[in-house]
Structure 1
Amino acid sequence: MDHSICVWNVWSRDHKKACVFNYHNAGVKDVKWSQQGLFLLSCGYDCSSRLIDIEKGLEAQVFKEDQVVHEYRRGLGPILDVEFTTDAKQFISSCDESKGNISENSIIVWDVLRQVPLSNQMRSIKAHMFLFRFMWKRILVHALESTLLIHILSLSQMENYIAIFSSKPPFKLDKYRRYESHSVSGFPIKCNFNLDGEKIASGSSDGCIYFYNSKSSELVKKMKAYEQACMDVAFHPVMPNVIASCSWNGDVSVFE
């Protein structure tokens, strides 16, 4: 929340912090690498997104509220996550509340070009909403497996689990696979696929990293990483045996 973006050299013992960028005027909410690893796209609480050229160390572009190209409206509450499908023709949004029917608006597939929701495709997801009041905290689409991974957090704390849906219409829920054992306890815990989609890793409020077999939903491994909550886990894009994780107290770790 100090307005900065840090890039780390995980293989260096002496110079772990490679560079720091201070372009935001408020706390930074999220950061994404470009596919080639040459740019960073960040968003912050100053209501701006910033594209940063890593090699030059310069801010390439700034995107602010008055530069919006398209706006998608449906009376939604705070947006928790957004993810494009593999063909980029649709994207999925999730929120923790809405002004209307929660089951209709908590998670929506949108048509990018027409700017309309394809909510009639989401019956299997909507059906879930009547069981408990859920937050759909994390949405991931895996290209190879054609699956949609959704981290479901119950506001009643009765259930916290990861569900699998098809990433293609009609976006059916896989009723036979549910990934559970990790805990959330009110933290914005995130999860991730590995490269081939065979494994799923999730953080947990108990400071552990949980590894699941994506096919069987079996818990394969539980690894203690922190004393405080483990917030997120990411697999290395090239080396399958390397993961990075971060904790609630600000620690970032790399494991082999």
Structure 2
Amino acid sequence: GKQIFSSKTEFRVSALKFHPTESNVFVCGGFSPEVKAWDLRTSKVLRVYKAAVQQTLDILFLPEGREFLTSTDAVSRDSADRTIVAWDFQSAAKISNQIFHERYTCPSLTLHPKESVFVAQTNGNYMALFSAQRPYRINKKKRYEGHKVEGFAVGCEFSPDGTLLVTGSSDGKVFFYNYHTSRIIRTLSAHKEACVSAIFHPVLPSLLATCDWAGEIKIWQ
């Protein structure tokens, strides 16, 4: 392949996402209070988003890309309101940091493919459901729990049709939840180490890829 971009940040990057409609733009964050938007064409920073945190754990663009969310490491007694932050992409203004009030970090975020909702994986060993519309209210009646996170950066994802929510687990298993009922419909003993990612194939939904903390990768059908 041909390299089309090269640059270096002053911090270690742990999250990077392309803009959903502007193909030449991506946003990255990591071990820094700053999140930066870059332009591939110029290799320059377009905008800087600043929050009073130490690390960005994940980034999620909301539909159409006008807003995006960051999950952070802020969980001290007076900072639980900064665990998930909503940003205006164009102005770099902070829209809200009053989204998630539990004192758990959220290592991963995922957007529903058809409905205006998103899910946050939490270190409370459950996934929380939120509206993707302002003010991003949490659904207090629905919670996806049964798997374990226990400090690992465990990812979660919806199936392409939005009916299933899949997540890894620190015990090496993969859990499949019914999105509508939040019930576990199946578990898979996938790895001996913590399973940190489980994702559906974007075109062939019967294929699932998983990986664990030790670097093992498996494809399931």
Deviation for aligned residue 1:208: 0.6
Matched, 1:216 2:216: no
**How much identity, in percent, do the aligned residues show?**
30
CA distance in 1, matches of 2:172, 2:19: 29
Instruction: Tell me the residue number matched to 1:68.
Output: 45
* Whole-angstrom CA distance in 2 between matches of 1:30 and 1:170: 24
Aligned position for 1:89: 66
Deviation of residue 216 (structure 1)? 0.3
Give the whole-Å Cα distance in 2 for the aligned partners of 1:254 and 1:164. 27
Amino acid in the other structure paired with 1:196: D
SS of aligned partner of 1:140: strand
Specify the alignment match of 2:23 in structure 1. none
Contact 1:29–1:42 (CA under 8 A) maintained in structure 2: no
Name the larger-Rg structure.
1
Matches of 1:100 and 1:247 in 2, distance apart? 32
Q: What does the per-residue CA deviation read over 1:116-155, in whole Å, with 9 as the maximum and x for residues that have no partner?
A: 1111xx64x34x33xxx210211112241111111111xx
**Is contact 1:89–1:111 with CA below 8 Å preserved after alignment?**
yes
Deviation at 1:70, TM superposition (A): 0.7
Does 2:218 correspond to 1:253? Answer: yes
- Separation in 2, partners of 1:181, 1:81: 22
Whether the aligned pair in 1 keeps the contact of 2:210 and 2:217 (CA below 8 Å) is yes
- 1:151 is matched by which residue type in structure 2? Q
3-state secondary structure, aligned to 2:46: coil
C-alpha deviation, 1:33, in angstroms: 8.7
TM-score, normalised on structure 2? Answer: 0.79
Distance 1:114-1:33 versus aligned 2 partners, 3 A rule: closer
What is the CA deviation profile of residues 59-85 of structure 1, one whole-angstrom value per residue up to 9, with x for unaligned ones? Answer: x8795xxx3221111322211111111
Runs of 4+ aligned structure 1 residues displaced above 3 Å come to 27-35, 41-45, 60-63, 98-101
Q: How does 1:165-244 map to 2 (within 5 A)?
A: 165-244=130-209
Contact 2:15–2:56 (CA under 8 A) maintained in structure 1: no
**Higher relative contact order (CA closer than 8 Å, sequence separation 6+):** 2
Stretches of structure 2 lacking an aligned partner (at least 5 in a row): 1-5, 21-25
Structure 1: how far apart are the matches of 2:64 and 2:77?
30
> In structure 1, what is the Cα distance between the partners aligned to 2:60 and 2:215?
25
Shift, 1:169, TM fit: 1.4
- TM-score when scaled to structure 1? 0.69
Distance in 1, matches of 2:66 and 2:176, equals: 31
The answer (yes or no) to whether the contact 1:178–1:217 under 8 Å persists in 2 is yes
> Per the alignment, do residues 185 and 24 of structure 1 end up closer, same or farther by CA in structure 2, a change over 3 Å counting?
farther
Count of residues paired in the alignment:
203
Q: How far off its partner does 1:42 sit?
A: 11
Contact 1:91/1:110 (<8 A) preserved: yes
Unaligned runs of 5+ in 1: 1-22, 36-40, 50-59, 154-158
Partner residue of 2:79?
Answer: 102
- Computed over aligned residues only, the root mean square deviation of the Cα atoms, in angstroms, reads 3.2
Q: What is the Cα deviation at residue 220 of structure 1? A: 0.4
Deviations 1:218-239 (A, max 9, x none): 0000110111111100001011
Return the alpha-carbon distance in structure 1 between the equivalents of residues 158 and 200 of structure 2.
Answer: 7
Residue 174 (structure 1) shift: 1.1
